[in-house]
Amino acid sequence: MMACFFTPTPSQAVRLDTAKGRPVANEQRAEISGLERLEGQHYERSYGSAVEVRTGPCLRYNCHGMSFAARRTRIIDNDAIRAILDDDGYDRVGVDKVLPGDVVLYISSAGDIEHSAIVVTPPSRETYNMPKVYSKWGKWKEVIHSANVCPYEPCDLRYYRVRG
């Protein structure tokens, strides 16, 4: 029988602070169900060769955990991300100044920071201003993809770089 049980172990958090010592709310999960794995594989196949897989699925961290917490945990709170941007000294970067390694935030029409990614190839006219990025898709995998080829709204992309 297919293993399709998910044990919602009580949410755990790790000690995580901004550069200025403000605590960052976070949560960890350790398991992914067989059913989620199947659904994810099915969905991933629908993208064909447009996405390149970097890692296996992992519940421990999400996109924001990958971008801002060294893949140790999941950050789900917009205020926590704003605190990191402020305290860690991120500056917003214009689309014409983007470099590999910059962080890109996907702001939904409701204002939610629903996704984040790391720029691999900056946006250009040839790519219709869409960068190539790598990102973590929720509980699923890290994938390399064009910023507009993913399950998230790419209509408001904002780029950030740590101030040197």
Partner 1 sequence: MSTVTWPLHGLLVDYLFANTPSYLMKKFRANDAVIELARDTPSVELASFVEAVDRDPSPDMHEVVAAYAAVVALTLQASQQSAEVLHNLRGENLTWIPHIVSLWRQSRVVGTSFDTRLPIKPLEQRQIRGAADSMETRACKPFRRDDFRYHAPDSVPTVIVRKDFD
Residue ranges binding partner 1 (CB under 8 A): 4-8, 10-11, 27, 33, 35-36, 39-40, 42-43, 62-64, 74, 76-78, 108, 110, 112-116, 136-140, 151-152
- Give dist(CA 44, CA 46) in Å, integer: 5
Tally Cβ neighbours within 10 Å of residue 30.
10
Instruction: Report the nearest approach of partner 1 to the CB of residue 156 (Å).
Output: 14
Angstrom CA distances, 81 to 26, 27, 44, 63, 65, stand at 11, 14, 27, 11, 10
Tell me the closest approach of the beta carbon of residue 97 to partner 1, in angstroms: 26
Least Å distance, CB 21 to partner 1, is 24
Q: Which is nearer to partner 1, 63 or 84 (CB)?
A: 63
CB of 158: closest distance to partner 1 in angstroms?
16
Of the pair 5, 128, the CB lying nearest partner 1 is at: 5
- Rounded Cα distance between 150 and 152, Å, is 6
- Closer CB to partner 1, 63 or 83, in the complex: 63
- Report the alpha-carbon distance of residue 75 to residue 120 in Å, rounded: 22
Closer to partner 1 by CB, 113 or 147: give it: 113
Q: Give the other-Cβ count within 10 Å of 133's Cβ.
A: 28
